[in-house]
């Protein structure tokens, strides 16, 4: 069941942000700008309207984006979203918090490039986590930050066209760009011919990478931490011209066709699931449960992740993520305490406004709860 | 914000490429596409780890480069290395609130599109 977040939380947060952004008065009389009413009066804005606007998550997002756009360019890769948490056995929202994620390539070097085949290596920084303002209510109490070196190879994807085809595509593109109406664009012969020509020259692409990594996993207070050193293999296969291979997209292709989002029943190769598989050496520090069992030595762990996202209908997308962690050759005490493996699955519906509803089952490392949780919330980007 | 114009080949090619690669709807007019953010693209899965999203962004960046060079016959701007161009696309894709206009600006800096010359690029 989907439930909208409490507007009182966002309203109070919006008021706090607004108060922080108020400029010192320049008039000799020093008017009071510390209250919503006085600020509204000073700017000739109806107070009720101002309160409603500040209660809108999009307003808070715009304020934060404006202020943080003044910071380093690196912040553009930082994404923050506020979340509310609701446990399965209650009817009310039980906690407020935020989720963050960051990923950026620091350097990139290519040692091979021929046609549609490229190979090289890069260095990247990544971080992500869920933080609850009341820690005990966080069912996904897990932070992760790390440095990775990747060797990658991308093979296939497109073939070379002739000069005349390139010129024709430019002309068709110019005609399409002049169309303002979505219905007219959807039925435009220029758009149809352009799309057909380009897709006829696409081929399946296989992107693979092998990475060495070093990162830290912890709970939000850093009471329990793990240093993780590992290798992983990433595989992203996209049958750009053969969407029927994408079995996961068939149900959503039917939905898109029935809702009129697509004019034909056409699964897309663009959403073929992505796979990560890895083996890590985990060095736990202050992990309470493992310490109580006398198991504090570093241990090997297998992990895998599969991600999938596709359009389901106009202004609606479906996404899913599955993760599995398993300690290799875990001692009997670890297995008996149910610490040897963790399985985590989440699925969500997302709209363009950022409002979403999701369903999550399972647990991540460090979690003490494996309850089913509906994570509701709204998104703000930096 | 970077300029978004139908007279700018980098903008229109970025727009059509993302449409053909199913990252934005086929019926999204050019005039409305410039403000679409990276987190609204099909590849962006906020339920995934940054590791997974980086793999997806890197793969998409490589494919955008394939389309630019092979299907649209673009070349790299003088002094631009292939890895630099692809990495710039990937990094832009990984910024949740970067827009298509931002991505087009990055592409304009790294690619000389078919029909452009060095003087007018």
pLDDT (0 to 100) of residue A157? 97
Choose among A174, A236, A270: nearest Cβ to B42. A270
Residue A368's pLDDT is 36
Distances A42 to A25, A30, A52, A371, B52 between C-alpha atoms, Å: 11, 12, 18, 49, 49
In a domain, B28, yes or no: no
pLDDT in tens, chain A (382 residues): 333 344 444 444 443 433 333 333 333 344 444 566 776 777 777 877 766 665 555 565 555 555 555 556 566 567 676 766 655 555 555 566 777 777 777 777 777 778 899 999 888 888 878 777 766 655 555 678 889 898 999 999 999 999 999 999 999 999 999 999 999 999 999 999 999 999 999 999 999 999 999 988 887 777 777 788 999 999 999 999 999 999 999 999 999 999 988 888 999 999 999 999 999 998 887 666 788 888 888 999 999 999 999 999 888 999 999 999 999 999 999 899 888 999 999 898 888 776 567 788 887 765 434 333 444 444 333 2
Residues of chain A in contact with residue B43, where contact means CB-CB under 8 angstroms, are: 270, 309
Nearest residue on chain A to B99, judged by CA atoms?
A76
Q: Would the CB atoms of B55 and A207 count as touching at under 8 Å?
A: yes
Are residues A195 and B23, on separate chains, in Cβ contact within 8 Å?
Answer: no
The answer to whether B71 contacts A102, with C-beta atoms less than 8 Å apart, is no
CB A236 within 8 A of CB B56: yes
Which one of B29, B59, B83 has the shortest CB-CB distance to A185?
B29
- pLDDT score recorded for residue A167: 96
Residue-wise pLDDT tens digits, B37-59: 998 999 999 888 888 999 999 99
The helix or strand, by DSSP H or E, that contains position A76, with its residue range, turns out to be none
DSSP one-letter string for A120-186: EEEEEEEEEEEEESSGGG-TT--EEEEEEEEEEEEEEEE----HHHHHHHHHHHHHHHT---HHHHH
Q: Report how far residue A371's alpha carbon sits from residue A138's, in angstroms, rounded to the nearest whole number.
A: 11
Which residue range forms the structural domain that includes residue B107?
9-23+35-112
How crowded is residue B45: how many other Cβ atoms within 10 Å of its Cβ? 24
CA distance linking residue B19 with residue A192, whole number of Å = 12
Q: Which residue has the tokens 């990478």?
A: A209
**How high is the pLDDT of residue A54?**
58
Would you list the domain boundaries of chain A? Answer: 1-70, 71-159+201-381
Residues 6+ positions from A27 with CB-CB distance below 8 Å: none
Q: How far apart are CA A171 and CA B71, in angstroms?
A: 14
Q: A267, exposed or middle or buried, with CB in 10 Å at 0-12, 13-18, 19+? A: buried
Alpha-carbon distance B64 to nearest alpha carbon in chain A (angstroms): 9
What is the count of residue pairs from A and B with beta carbons less than 8 Å apart?
Answer: 234
3-state secondary structure of A72: coil
CB < 8 Å to A307, chain B: 45, 47-48, 52-53, 56
Q: Please check the confidence at residue B78 and state whether its pLDDT lies above 90.
A: yes
Query: Model confidence over A123-161: pLDDT tens digits?
Result: 888 887 877 776 665 555 567 888 989 899 999 999 999
| Cα distance from N-terminal residue to C-terminal residue, chain A | 29
**pTM for this one?**
0.78
Would you state the pLDDT for residue A303? Answer: 94
For residue B17, which of B30, B1, B4 has the smallest C-alpha distance? B30
Instruction: Answer yes or no: do B25 and A311 touch at CB < 8 A.
Output: yes
Q: What DSSP state is assigned to residue A88?
A: T
Window B:57-116, CB contacts with A under 8 Å: 57-59, 62-63, 65-67, 70-73, 81-84, 86-87, 90-91, 94-98, 114-115
pLDDT at A381: 33
Question: Which pairs from B7-12 meet CB under 8 Å and 24+ separation?
Answer: B8/B104, B8/B108, B9/A170, B9/B113, B9/B114, B9/B115, B9/B116, B10/B104, B10/B105, B10/B107, B10/B108, B10/B111, B10/B113, B11/B100, B11/B101, B11/B104, B11/B108, B12/A173, B12/A174, B12/A176, B12/A177
Summarize chain A as % helix, strand, coil (round to 5): 30, 40, 30
In a domain, B52, yes or no: yes
Distance from CA of B6 to the nearest CA of A (A): 6
Is residue A351 within 8 A of residue A378, CB to CB? The reply is: no
Strand partners, A226: A217, A284
Looking at the domain A71-159+201-381, which fold is it?
Outer membrane phospholipase (ompla); Chain C (2.40.230)
Can you tell me the ipTM of this complex? 0.94
Nearest CB to A320 within list B47, B70, B91: B47
Q: Is residue B64 in some structural domain?
A: yes
Tell me how far apart the alpha carbons of residues A257 and A297 are, in angstroms, rounded to a whole number. Answer: 54
Cα dihedral sign, B112-B113-B119-B121: negative
pLDDT for residue A377? 43
On whether any CB of chain A is under 8 Å from the CB of B37, the answer is yes
Note whether B25 contacts A167, CB cutoff 8 Å. no
Residue-level pLDDT at B86: 93
**Residue A261 neighbours by CB distance under 10 Å:** 19
Count of the separate structural domains present in chain B: 1
Interface check for B31 against chain A (CB to CB < 8 A): the answer is yes
Q: Are strands A274-285 and A299-313 parallel, antiparallel or unpaired?
A: antiparallel
């Amino acid at each position: 069941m989907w439930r909208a977040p409490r507007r009182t939380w966002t309203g109070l947060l919006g008021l706090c942000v607004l108060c922080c952004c108020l400029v010192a008065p320049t008039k000799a009389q020093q008017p009071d700008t510390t209250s919503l009413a006085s600020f509204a009066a000073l700017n000739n804005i109806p107070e009720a309207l101002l309160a409603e606007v500040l209660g809108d998550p999009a307003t808070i997002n715009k304020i934060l984006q404006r202020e943080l756009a003044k910071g380093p360019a690196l912040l553009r890769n930082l994404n923050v979203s506020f979340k509310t948490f609701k446990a399965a056995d209650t009817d009310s929202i039980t906690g407020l918090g935020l989720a963050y994620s960051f990923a950026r390539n620091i350097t990139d070097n290519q040692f091979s490039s021929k046609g549609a085949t490229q190979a090289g290596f890069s260095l990247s920084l990544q971080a992500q986590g869920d933080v609850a303002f009341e820690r005990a209510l966080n069912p996904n109490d897990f932070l992760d930050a790390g440095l990775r070196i990747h060797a990658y190879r991308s093979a296939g994807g497109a073939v070379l066209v002739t000069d005349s085809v390139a010129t024709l595509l430019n002309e068709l593109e110019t005609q399409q760009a002049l169309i303002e109406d979505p219905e007219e664009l959807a039925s435009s012969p220029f758009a149809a011919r352009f799309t057909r020509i380009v897709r006829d020259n696409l081929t399946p692409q296989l992107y693979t990478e092998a990475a060495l990594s070093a990162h830290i996993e912890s709970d939000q207070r850093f009471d329990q931490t793990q240093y993780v050193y590992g290798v992983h293999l990433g595989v992203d296969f996209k049958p750009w011209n053969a969407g029927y291979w994408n079995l996961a997209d068939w149900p959503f292709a039917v939905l898109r066709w029935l809702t009129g989002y697509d004019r034909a029943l056409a699964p897309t190769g663009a959403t073929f699931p992505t796979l990560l598989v890895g083996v890590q050496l985990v060095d736990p520090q202050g992990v309470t449960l493992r310490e109580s069992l006398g198991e504090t030595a570093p241990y090997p762990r297998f992990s895998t992740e599969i991600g999938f996202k596709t359009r389901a209908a106009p202004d609606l997308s479906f996404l899913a993520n599955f993760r599995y962690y398993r300690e290799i050759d875990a001692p009997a005490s670890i297995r008996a305490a149910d610490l040897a493996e963790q399985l985590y699955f989440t699925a969500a519906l997302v709209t363009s406004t950022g409002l979403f509803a999701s369903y999550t089952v399972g647990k991540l490392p460090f979690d003490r709860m494996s309850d089913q949780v509906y994570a509701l919330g709204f998104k703000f980007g930096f | 914000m970077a300029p978004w114009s139908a007279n700018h080949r980098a903008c229109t090619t970025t727009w059509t490429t993302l449409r053909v690669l199913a990252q934005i709807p086929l019926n999204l007019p050019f005039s409305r596409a410039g403000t679409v953010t990276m987190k609204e693209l099909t590849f962006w899965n906020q339920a995934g780890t940054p590791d997974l999203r980086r793999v997806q962004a890197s793969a998409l960046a490589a494919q955008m480069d394939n389309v630019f060079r092979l299907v649209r016959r673009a070349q790299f701007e003088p002094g631009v290395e292939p890895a630099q161009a692809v990495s710039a696309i990937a990094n832009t894709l990984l910024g949740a609130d970067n827009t298509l206009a931002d991505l087009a600006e990055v592409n304009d800096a790294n690619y000389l599109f078919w029909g452009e010359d060095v003087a007018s690029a």
